[in-house]
Amino acid sequence: MSYVTTCSLMESMYLLRHGNRVVKVQTECTWPYGHDECAFLFEGETAEADHDSYLRGAILPLPAYLPDLFSAITEALGKGGAT
């Protein structure tokens, strides 16, 4: 099992569509500006490889996948996956 954290909704949709699941929603201080952002922790057999694939410019998901992402986030929050 591998884990990856992202603040990107586009990457989150990509990770979700590749069989990973949201396990935690948290705030994360991002570099270089020091802003707190909403971050999503994903768990999956290929989460790290999917993250690398996304960063290499893999095909981007469609905005139509947003409802699936919001459902996954809501489910993680309902299970206490928030900090």
- Which phi and psi angles does 7 have, rounded to 5°? -105, -5
Burial class (CB in 10 A: 0-12, 13-18, 19+), 22: buried
Give residue-wise pLDDT tens across range 12-62: 999 999 999 999 999 988 777 788 999 999 999 999 999 999 999 867 778
pLDDT at residue 44 in the model:
98
pLDDT at residue 83 in the model:
67
This model's pTM is above 0.85: yes
Per-domain boundaries in the chain: 2-78
pLDDT at residue 13 in the model:
95
Question: Is residue 10 over pLDDT 80?
Answer: yes
